[in-house]
Amino acid sequence: MLTAIVGINWGDEGKGRMVDLLSSDYDIICRYQGGNNAGHTVINDKGKFVLNLLPSGILRETTVNVMGNGMVIDLEHLVGEMKALTDKGIHIGPDNLKISDKAIICMPYHKMQDIMEEERLADKKFGSTRRGIAPVYADKYMKKGIRMEDLLHMDSLYGKLRDIVEWKNITVTGYGHAPVDVDAMMDWLKTYGSVVAPFVTDVSGYLADAAASGKNIMFEAQLGALRDIDFGIYPYTSSSTTLAAYAPIGAGIPGAQLNNTIGIMKAYSTCVGEGPFTVEMFGDEAEQLRAAGGEYGAATGRPRRVGPFDVPASRYGVRMQGASTIALTKLDVLSYLDRIPVCVAYEIDGQRTADFPTGERLNRAKPVIEYVDGFGDVSQCRSYDDLPENAKRYISTLEQAVGCRIEYVSVGAGRDEYVKID
Ligand code: GDP
Ligand code: MG
């Protein structure tokens, strides 16, 4: 069984918590794209964790965790994240963590370049997390990346690094910044690379063997469909492919076919950073929803922009992900509302549409809002029958609107706070 857990919306849908819940049935959990701009929050019997680079399966003793070739990895951050977990008693060793030899290393100069670029753009910035993600992916495709494999060959790494740094300094000095020092970069690679090197392996061969012997593999995405580099709200997207179809490639098993794609969809909308966000609420209404949902970025602490559930955007997200079923998250957050706003369509240039436009037309879209009855407290519900009638109605309204079955509903952040719908 090969299953992808992916985001239907703009990210922060609760992917980490669903991976933590559903990973009990899987042998291997793979992250396949992105870097430490991810923030996946998991609350379980071991405590509360925010994972940026490590797959959320690392918290289960029974799983092996893979960081795939599609990822970009800041070694210093990874070492810090591993230490924070081992300090809390979580075991991390080459037996339960395997890092692709083909994953690209996010260097300190990528972070620096990211910050310089956001500062240069001033009020036109893209809302980058300033973790070097766009510059490191750009370098990957310029074929100026340093791969994890290079950590296993320190002797030949110096020459490669020197050439890359010389090239990078054309850009860095262009920003008016002092050039990057190759020896400092080499020291950084040695310091953190020596900790990480024992985990670096040919993940592709490992996954092929695992799949052939019938192991269950789960792929954990970062961000959501609307942040995909091709199909999202470009250029306010991430720099990688957040879609399920890329999961086997980014993990290292490109010939495999997914059996199952679970789309994680939030009961309302949130968006971190810049870009068009048609359903955005402002003022007290927004503040109430943000407070109810605790909508502050896990990776950055930034207040998330909030709004009602967005049918056109979510329907598009379901289509782009090819979701087989949906996990609807954070239903409990809406408990305080007597009537719940839902954006059922957009109005663009006086025309009503249920299709999600990308590009310029999206900037002119206005939300068409309808209200459905509130359902009160659902936080204690553990089965479908426990749910109030109005909550069942909200769920079936969304199901019909996005055209996909809702299989799980989460009603709290804890591992067991959910309802399964058969
Ligand atoms: P991810 O990036 O998709 O993994 O999501 P985040 O972890 O960034 O954001 C989801 C937030 O909602 C986290 O703080 C979770 O602990 C929390 N959360 C997840 N599911 C639920 C739920 O059903 N109810 C509530 N109230 N919080 C939830
Ligand atoms: Mg997140």
The residue from 20, 40, 110, 114 that is catalytic is 40
Rounded to the nearest angstrom, the distance between the alpha carbon of 414 and the centre of ligand 1 is 9
Buried b (16+ CB within 10 A) or exposed e, 96-125: bbbbbbbbbbbbbbbbbbbbbbbeeeeeee
Burial class (CB in 10 A: 0-12, 13-18, 19+), 421: middle
The residue among 175, 128, 44, 70 whose CA lies nearest residue 300 is 128
Q: Which of 33-42, 124-133, 218-227, 305-314 has the lowest mean pLDDT?
A: 124-133
At 298 the pLDDT is 65
Q: Name the residue with the closest Cα to ligand 1, atom 2.
A: 12
The token duo for 93 is: 């060793």
Strand, helix or coil for residue 224: strand
> Which is nearest to 5 in space by CA: 320, 289, 317, 323?
323
Residues in contact with ligand 1 by the CB-under-6-Å rule are 7, 11-17, 39-41, 43, 294, 298, 329-330, 332-333, 410-413
Please name every residue paired with 165 in a beta bridge, in sequence order, or none if there are none.
none
Active-site annotation holds for 12: yes
**Residue whose CA lies nearest to ligand 1 atom number 8:** 12
Q: Residues 18-68: pLDDT tens digits?
A: 999 999 999 999 999 999 998 899 999 999 999 999 999 999 999 999 999
pLDDT confidence tier of residue 119, bands split at 50, 70 and 90: confident
- Give per-residue pLDDT as tens, 210-225: 999 999 999 999 999 9
Query: Which atom number of ligand 1 is nearest to the Cα of residue 224?
Result: 3
What is the pTM assigned to this prediction?
0.96
Reported in sequence order, the residue ranges of 215-363 that DSSP labels E, i.e. its strands, are: 217-224, 260-266, 269-271, 305-307, 309-310, 325-329, 339-348, 351-353
Structural domains for the chain: 2-101+204-262 (3.40.440.10), 104-197 (1.10.300.10), 263-420 (3.90.170.10)
How far out from the chain centre does Cα 89 lie?
25
**pLDDT level of residue 128 (50, 70, 90 thresholds):** confident
- The ligand whose atoms approach the alpha carbon of 242 most closely is 1
Residues 6+ apart with CB under 8 A from 364: 348, 349
Contacts of 346 (CB under 8 A, 6+ apart): 278, 312, 352, 353, 354, 356, 357, 365, 366, 367, 368
Per the DSSP assignment, residues forming a β-bridge with 97 are: 65
Give the number of C-alpha atoms closer than 13 A to the C-alpha of residue 39, restricted to the C-beta side. 16
> What confidence score (pLDDT) does residue 299 get?
63
Q: Over range 142-158, report the average pLDDT.
A: 97
Enter the tokens of residue 174: 């262009």
40 noted as active-site residue: yes
Asked if residues 135 and 110 have their Cβ atoms less than 8 Å apart, the reply is: yes
Distance from Cα 36 to the centre of ligand 1, integer Å: 17
Catalytic residue among 12, 101, 150, 228: 12
Give the residue whose CA is nearest to atom 28 of ligand 1: 413
